[in-house]
Structure 1
């Protein structure tokens, strides 16, 4: 079925049509704490706890883009990034004008070894190392919760 249908001389969006999802990459940053694996979360501009994530980048692999997002949003200075994704999940991307779009997020693991106090978005985002159990409670995206449960 076409996305647009002709109805009484006007064009109307077909509500049953499915848009292709936007694509983002995310970094699942982990480290070993005293009580087991910890996950690094950052706070979004709307106050939700999320993984560092962003758009794919020209000239970089998706794994490299995920590592750069971890640096810019959370101050991950050094870490070993997996070249292959460990998971994908669907979410909704909310834009500043209030519109939303389906978004497929591809997640790359990063075993973090070094963090910095100063990084590009330090004034914009809070970051927090938490247990996997706590991360599951903090994040709101069900697909991300499923990924965390698999840890």
Structure 2
């Protein structure tokens, strides 16, 4: 899990922190602060376990897998809120389609090394993060969880 805080370059670190800032700015209002912190910790732990046991990587540096997990969960919560308050959900559909397209392109990458970040890209961590987010969404979709946490998860 500690390797998620070690980065390939300053550019790589800046991109990951910018992604975290955008997620926090755009979605943290959907979740209680204590659950937001829990999601951050859970995403880091899940990706560490995923790249250790499911799609083993001999190396990993960065937060991108955890960010993928957080994005999937936040996107699902935003969809739920948009239907609850009658907001237009088309921007959310664009984000979902963009994520799916990105993950599909990463299944057979032309190049696994990105010179702008200083090394290889861990596509397995991206997949693992998205899968972890999907599992959290399934758990959150159970009625007992909604009753426990109320309208604002």
TM-score (norm 1): 0.29
Higher relative helix content: 2
TM-score, structure 2 length as denominator?
0.29
Structure richer in strand, relative to its length: 1
